[in-house]
C-alpha cells in the first residue's frame, strides 16, 4: 500500500517530522531515554550545551551526564519520575571537557514501547550566576546598611503602609510593638516645627518635581531630639504614577552638634577678630585725629589772640568757626566710617568693589603713612558684586593689615602694597600684593588655619586670615587663595 492510499500513515510521518523539527529548533535541550536510562535521542541544543556529538550521546546513559558525586541522587530522581509520572528539579551536568553546568530538568515517563523518559533541560548557569550575584549584592547592601547604621523604610502608596527595619525604630525611639506600620507612625515622630516642610518635600518627590532629600528633627517619646538625614527613591508604575517609595534615614545629630559648635567657634573668632581690628582702628583714629585736633587748637588760640588785640570781627569769627566745624565734620565722618565698618550686614546687597577697597584703605592709611608704607591702587571702578559689603571690607582689612605687619617685621626697605581690582573669566578679582619676600613654602598650606601665626607671642591672634577665608569662601561663596609671586605674597579674592 502506498502513502497515497493511507492517509493515517501520511499524517503520522508528517507529524513525526514536525515534532522532530520543533525539538531540533528548541533552545532547550531534549533527551529521550528508555526505562533503564539509556539515551535514545538528543537534539542539537543539548549537543551544544554538553559538547557531545549526537553519536556520542546515543552511546551513553542519562546517568553518565552527571558528576560522579551526584549519581545516586540522580538515580533516585529518575525513579521518582517513573513512579510519579513526572518531576522537575535542578542539578548539574558534566560537559565533554569535564566542566559542569547547571540545568533545570523537566521529565515525564511514558509507558509506550516499554517505557520512555522524555526529558527537557534548560541551561540555567547564567541565571544561577545572576542570582548568586544578586544575592551577593544583597548581602553587601545589608552589610553596608548595617555598618552605616542606616534606617531603611519602604512605603506603599495604595494603602499608605510602611515597613521599617530595627534601626528605623531606634531612630524614632519606638518599639516594634508600638509601630503600627501606618504613615502616622512616621508623621507623629516628626518635630512639630519641621513637619510641614518634610511633608512638602515628600509630596514634591511623589509629584516628580525633585528628589526626596531632606533633613529634619525627630522627637522621641522621652523628649530626646534627633537630627535625621533622609533620602528616598520613588518607584512608579507603567502609567508614571508613584506606587512605592523606599529610602534610608541616617542619624546626623552628632554632625549637627559639631556644625553648631563650629558656628559658635567661628562667631567667637569673628568677635575676637573684630576686637583686634578695633584696636588697630582706634590706633589709626588716634593718629588721624592728632592733626585736626592741633588745627582746632590753633584756631582757638588765634581767636583768643585776635580778641585780646581787638581784631575780632564778625567776618573773622565766622571764618574761624567754619574752618573749625569743617575739621570737626571730618572727624565725625571718620567715626561714622569706623562704626559702619563693624556693623554686621543682615542681607546681601550689590556694591562697587573699588569703593569697598578705597574705604578699607582709608581706614588703615594712617597706620601705613606712619610706617612709611606706600600703597598703590589699580582699580576698575565698574565692577560690582552682590554680597555682604562690611564683611567683605573686614576680610580685605585683615589681608592688608597682615601685609603691613609682614613688611614691618621684616624691615623691608621701600615697603609697598599694591591692590588691584579687575575682572577675569566672569569673576570679580581683587589681589593684594606686598614686596615682603613671600611666605615660606612649608607654612603656605597652613596660612588660613585658625590661631596659626608666624608672629611672636603677643603680636597676633592668628584669626585674621582664617576669618577672611570664612567670610569670602563660606559666607559669600567666593574663593580666597594665596601664592608667592614677584618677590612677595599675593592674596587673591574671587567672587
- Domain around 381: 261-494
| Residue in 244, 239, 172, 171 with CA at minimum distance from that of residue 205 | 244
Q: For residue 141, tell me if it sits in a domain.
A: no
Residue 381: give its domain's CATH number. 3.30.565.10
CB atoms within 10 A of CB 472: 26
**Given this model, what pLDDT does residue 420 score?**
95
Tell me 61's DSSP state: B
**Given this model, what pLDDT does residue 284 score?**
59
- Asked if 217 contacts 251 with a C-beta cutoff of 8 angstroms, the reply is no
Q: Please identify, among 251, 282, 314, the residue that sits at the C-terminal boundary of a domain.
A: 251
Same domain (yes/no): 190, 295: no
Q: For residue 157, tell me if it sits in a domain.
A: yes
Mean pLDDT by 10 residues, the chain (495 residues): 48 53 70 88 90 92 81 79 88 90 89 86 82 62 60 87 88 89 87 92 91 91 90 86 88 83 69 60 60 70 76 75 72 60 68 90 80 92 88 86 88 93 93 92 82 52 72 88 92 93
DSSP assignment of 117-176: EEEEEEE-HHHHHHHHHHHHHHHHHHHHHHHHT-EEEEEETTTTEEEE-HHHHHHHT--T
CB atoms within 10 A of CB 331: 15
pTM of the model: 0.42
Same domain (yes/no): 162, 311: no
- Give me the residue label for grid cell 589709626: 284
Q: Please identify, among 98, 128, 158, the residue that sits at the C-terminal boundary of a domain.
A: 128
Q: For residue 209, tell me if it sits in a domain.
A: yes
Between CA 139 and CA 120 the distance in angstroms is 33
**Given this model, what pLDDT does residue 153 score?**
86
Q: For residue 144, tell me if it sits in a domain.
A: no
Per-residue cell: 67: 558528576
Same domain (yes/no): 337, 474: yes
Same domain (yes/no): 37, 81: yes
Residue 161: give its domain's CATH number. 3.30.450.20
Helix (H, G, I), strand (E, B) or coil at 69: helix
Query: Distance of alpha carbon 109 from its chain centroid, rounded?
Result: 62
Q: For residue 133, tell me if it sits in a domain.
A: no
Please give the biggest Cα pair distance in the chain: 165
Helix (H, G, I), strand (E, B) or coil at 210: coil
| Residue in 157, 91, 84 with CA at minimum distance from that of residue 121 | 91
Same domain (yes/no): 372, 349: yes
Same domain (yes/no): 291, 363: yes
Between CA 300 and CA 317 the distance in angstroms is 10
**Given this model, what pLDDT does residue 359 score?**
84
Same domain (yes/no): 180, 294: no
209: left (phi over 0), alpha (psi -120 to 50) or beta: alpha
- Asked if 101 contacts 95 with a C-beta cutoff of 8 angstroms, the reply is yes
Domains identified in the chain, total number: 3
Burial class of residue 46 in the structure, from the number of CB atoms within 10 Å of its CB (0-12 exposed, 13-18 middle, 19+ buried): buried
Between CA 154 and CA 245 the distance in angstroms is 6
Same domain (yes/no): 266, 245: no
**Given this model, what pLDDT does residue 458 score?**
42
Q: For residue 135, tell me if it sits in a domain.
A: no
**Given this model, what pLDDT does residue 275 score?**
60
Same domain (yes/no): 246, 265: no
Q: Edge-to-edge, what's the strand order for the sheet holding 225-236?
A: 161-164, 151-156, 242-251, 225-236, 212-219
Same domain (yes/no): 215, 301: no
Same domain (yes/no): 326, 474: yes
Between CA 62 and CA 74 the distance in angstroms is 9
Report, in angstroms and rounded to the nearest whole number, the Rg of the chain calculated over CA atoms.
44
Q: Please identify, among 128, 160, 175, the residue that sits at the C-terminal boundary of a domain.
A: 128
Q: For residue 301, tell me if it sits in a domain.
A: yes
- Asked if 215 contacts 229 with a C-beta cutoff of 8 angstroms, the reply is yes
Between CA 473 and CA 22 the distance in angstroms is 73
Same domain (yes/no): 83, 23: yes
Burial class of residue 140 in the structure, from the number of CB atoms within 10 Å of its CB (0-12 exposed, 13-18 middle, 19+ buried): exposed
Q: For residue 96, tell me if it sits in a domain.
A: yes
- Asked if 247 contacts 235 with a C-beta cutoff of 8 angstroms, the reply is no
Amino acid at each position: 500500500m502506498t502513502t497515497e492510499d493511507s492517509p493515517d500513515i501520511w499524517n503520522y510521518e508528517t507529524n513525526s517530522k514536525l515534532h522532530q523539527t520543533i525539538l531540533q529548533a528548541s533552545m532547550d535541550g531534549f533527551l529521550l531515554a528508555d526505562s533503564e536510562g539509556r539515551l535514545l535521542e538528543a537534539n542539537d541544543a543539548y549537543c551544544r550545551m554538553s559538547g557531545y556529538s549526537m553519536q556520542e550521546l546515543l552511546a551513553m546513559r542519562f546517568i553518565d551526564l552527571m558528576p560522579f558525586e551526584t549519581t545516586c541522587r540522580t538515580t533516585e530522581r529518575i525513579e521518582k519520575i517513573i513512579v510519579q509520572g513526572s518531576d522537575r528539579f535542578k542539578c548539574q551536568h558534566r560537559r565533554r571537557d569535564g566542566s559542569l553546568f547547571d540545568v533545570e530538568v523537566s521529565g515525564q515517563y511514558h509507558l509506550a514501547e516499554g517505557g520512555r523518559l522524555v526529558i527537557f533541560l534548560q541551561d540555567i548557569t547564567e541565571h544561577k550566576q545572576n542570582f548568586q550575584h544578586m544575592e551577593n549584592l544583597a548581602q553587601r547592601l545589608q552589610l553596608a546598611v548595617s555598618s552605616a547604621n542606616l534606617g531603611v523604610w519602604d512605603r506603599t502608596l495604595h494603602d499608605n503602609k510602611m515597613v521599617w527595619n530595627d534601626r528605623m525604630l531606634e531612630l524614632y525611639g519606638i518599639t516594634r510593638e508600638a509601630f503600627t506600620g501606618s504613615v502616622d507612625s512616621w508623621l507623629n515622630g516628626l518635630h512639630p516645627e519641621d513637619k510641614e516642610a518634610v511633608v512638602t518635600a515628600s509630596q514634591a518627590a511623589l509629584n516628580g518635581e525633585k528628589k526626596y532629600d531632606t533633613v529634619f528633627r525627630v522627637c522621641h517619646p522621652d523628649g530626646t531630639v534627633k537630627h535625621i538625614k533622609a533620602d528616598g527613591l520613588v518607584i512608579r508604575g507603567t502609567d508614571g504614577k508613584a506606587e512605592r517609595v523606599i529610602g534610608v534615614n541616617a542619624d546626623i545629630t552628632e554632625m549637627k552638634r559639631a556644625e553648631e559648635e563650629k558656628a559658635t567657634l567661628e562667631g567667637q573668632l569673628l568677635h575676637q577678630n573684630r576686637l583686634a581690628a578695633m584696636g588697630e582702628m582706634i590706633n589709626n583714629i588716634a593718629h588721624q585725629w592728632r592733626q585736626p585736633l592741633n588745627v582746632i587748637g590753633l584756631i582757638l588760640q588765634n581767636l583768643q589772640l585776635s580778641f585780646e588785640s581787638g581784631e575780632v570781627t564778625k567776618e573773622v569769627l565766622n571764618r574761624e568757626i567754619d574752618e573749625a566745624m569743617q575739621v570737626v565734620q571730618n572727624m565725625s565722618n571718620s567715626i561714622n566710617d569706623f562704626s559702619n565698618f563693624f556693623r554686621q550686614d543682615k542681607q546681601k546687597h550689590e556694591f562697587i568693589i573699588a569703593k569697598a577697597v578705597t574705604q578699607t584703605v582709608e581706614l588703615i592709611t594712617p597706620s601705613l603713612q606712619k610706617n612709611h608704607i606706600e600703597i598703590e591702587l589699580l582699580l576698575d571702578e565698574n565692577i560690582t558684586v552682590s554680597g555682604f559689603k562690611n564683611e567683605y571690607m573686614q576680610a580685605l582689612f585683615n589681608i592688608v593689615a597682615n601685609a603691613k605687619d609682614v613688611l614691618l617685621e621684616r624691615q623691608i626697605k621701600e615697603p609697598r602694597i599694591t591692590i588691584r581690582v579687575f575682572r577675569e573669566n566672569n569673576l570679580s578679582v581683587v589681589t593684594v600684593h606686598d614686596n615682603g619676600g613671600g611666605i615660606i613654602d612649608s607654612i603656605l598650606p597652613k596660612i588660613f588655619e585658625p590661631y596659626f601665626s608666624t608672629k611672636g607671642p603677643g603680636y597676633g591672634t592668628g584669626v585674621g586670615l582664617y576669618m577672611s577665608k570664612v567670610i569670602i569662601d563660606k559666607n559669600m561663596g567666593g574663593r580666597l587663595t594665596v601664592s608667592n609671586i614677584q618677590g612677595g605674597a599675593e592674596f587673591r579674592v574671587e567672587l
